[in-house]
Amino acid sequence: MPFFIRGKRPLDRSDKKPKRGIKRNAQPPTKRPPKERPNMDEEITSDEEDEYIRGKPEKFEEYETDEDLETPQEKKVRLARQYIKELEEQKASAQEARDVDYDAIGHRLREDVLEASGKLYKPVAETIAEADTENILTLKSKQQKLPVTCMVVTSDDQHIFCGSKDCSLVKYTIDGKRVATIPGGRKGTEKVHVGHTTHVYSLAVSSDGMYLASGDQGGYIHIWNAKTMEHLKSFKKHRAAISGLVFRRGSHTLYSCSHDRMVIVWNIDAMAFVEHLGGHQDAITGIDALYRESCITSGGRDQSVIVYVIVEDKQLRFAGHQDSIDGVKLLNEKTFFTYSQDGTISMWITSKKRPQSVHKAAHGYQSNGQPHWITAIATLVNSDLLASAGSMDGFIRLWKINTGKQRGLEPILSIPVGGVVNSLAFTSNASHLVAGVGREHKLGRWYCIKSGKNSVLVIPLKKK
């Protein structure tokens, strides 16, 4: 029978290929009972809780902390509160720091106002008990063989600079270590020698310790890097010896005075001349300045003192000495002292034309009945402490300054020193008195004290 008229065979369901993933004769899957979950709202006893922990420890670990149980909203609230708490703590600490800073700033501003008005006062003299003469430090360099003529201490009390008649400059630390030496040159070698070739008469260091200025007998002013002692600049505007140099505090303005009767203002930042200031009729012997834009000078044989108020372009003249004035020192912006060849120390205030007190023969009398010549004084700025030295009496004397109704000087103690004291300076905290000593006076060879040493003395002052 042809295949095309054959009848269709009924399909055998057993021949069908099984579907993928399903085995033949497989039993239908049985439904598992749902997992038991603890009802978190149901109260359970401690025994049931212990039994539950022993039975399913892995489930209990999921709920160890409260943070795991909190909802997202609760977590946001918790983090927000934590952040606010940290901000409050930071604000409180910052406010405390600001309060401390404000107190310090306020104290400093009050001091600045009092200092500018000349009313800042720090009693120091009564705290000085005695000088520690057993521990006096003698600074002496083999390259500085002639008398020390001038000396200056840095504002941080770390270094001392001194000049000598042998034209040299030496830098020491306050504890006696020699840091650097600039040797002097022969007269006539100014164009080739870096440094001084005549006697060094004056020194000044800026309040930030950046610049050192030195002046000599030939009228030269040299500017140095005070830290490295590198030579920076030389000025030759004066026509005679440089008798005094001083920096205005807090600036790089330099004032110089000379035996040519002139004062010159210099800008050391620009290394340039600014202006001349006249007024004296004879050689100027000393100069000083503090924070104000002014300086004060002493005239020698013209026996006058001039305060140059540079901002207002005016001069204040004072007169009252009976002999040549050898120097001037400011105590504050209103009070200053002068000393003379007749052994007199005078105290002045800028509002009066005559001295407020005159202390005659401050260092006693010589064998011929003449008072000892005052060679140097030093004041501790804005305090009540002054030091002075006589020419040949062999002592440095410390004085308490009385600025009340009974103005004047009250002696505190005397320090024996061999030689002529040509320069004096206090450290800023009055812990030491520094003296530049020589066998003869810085300006001449009228007498020689052979027992003296050409050196710098660092004298410790004991406090009560």
Q: What is the 3-state secondary structure (H, E, C) of 260-329?
A: CCCEEEEECCCCEEEEEECCCCCCEEEEECCCCCEEEEEECCCCEEEEEECCCCEEEEEECCCCCEEEEE
Question: Using one digit for the tens of pLDDT, what is the confidence trace for 371-399?
Answer: 999 999 999 999 999 999 988 888 999 99
Closest CA to 244 of 163, 180, 302: 163
Closest CA to 319 of 293, 281, 291, 292: 281
Question: Using one digit for the tens of pLDDT, what is the confidence trace for 289-334?
Answer: 999 999 999 988 899 999 999 999 899 999 888 889 999 999 999 9
Please tell me the distance from the alpha carbon of residue 287 to that of residue 244, in angstroms, as a whole number: 6
Model confidence at 13: pLDDT above 90: no
Residue 64 pLDDT class (50, 70, 90 cuts) = low
Residue 157 pLDDT class (50, 70, 90 cuts) = very high
Rounded percentage of the chain residues whose pLDDT exceeds 90: 60
Residue 66 pLDDT class (50, 70, 90 cuts) = low
Question: Which residues does 142 contact at the CB level (< 8 Å), separation at least 6?
Answer: none
Please tell me the distance from the alpha carbon of residue 282 to that of residue 319, in angstroms, as a whole number: 14
pLDDT of residue 22: 46
pLDDT of residue 323: 87
Angle at 218 between CA 215 and CA 222, to 5 degrees: 35
pLDDT of residue 392: 83
Residue 464 pLDDT class (50, 70, 90 cuts) = confident
Model confidence at 3: pLDDT above 50: no
Model confidence at 97: pLDDT above 90: no
pLDDT of residue 80: 85
pLDDT of residue 270: 95
More confident residue, 427 or 76: 427
pLDDT of residue 61: 45
Model confidence at 362: pLDDT above 90: yes
Considering the entire predicted model, what is its pTM?
Answer: 0.76
Please give the structure tokens belonging to residue 228.
Answer: 């490295």
Residue pointed to by tokens 């620009």:
270
pLDDT of residue 446: 83
pLDDT of residue 100: 58
Model confidence at 44: pLDDT above 90: no
Please give the structure tokens belonging to residue 24.
Answer: 């033949």
Residue 36 pLDDT class (50, 70, 90 cuts) = low
Are the beta carbons of 347 and 337 closer than 8 angstroms? yes
Model confidence at 236: pLDDT above 60: yes
The distance in angstroms from the start CA to the end CA of the chain is 146
Q: How far is CA 420 from CA 86, 374, 402, in A?
A: 68, 10, 27
Are the beta carbons of 415 and 131 closer than 8 angstroms? yes
DSSP state of 32: P
Residue 75 pLDDT class (50, 70, 90 cuts) = confident
Angle at 183 between CA 178 and CA 188, to 5 degrees: 165
Residue 81 pLDDT class (50, 70, 90 cuts) = confident
- Paired strand residues for 258: 242
Please tell me the distance from the alpha carbon of residue 89 to that of residue 97, in angstroms, as a whole number: 12
Average pLDDT value for the chain? 85
More confident residue, 202 or 392: 202
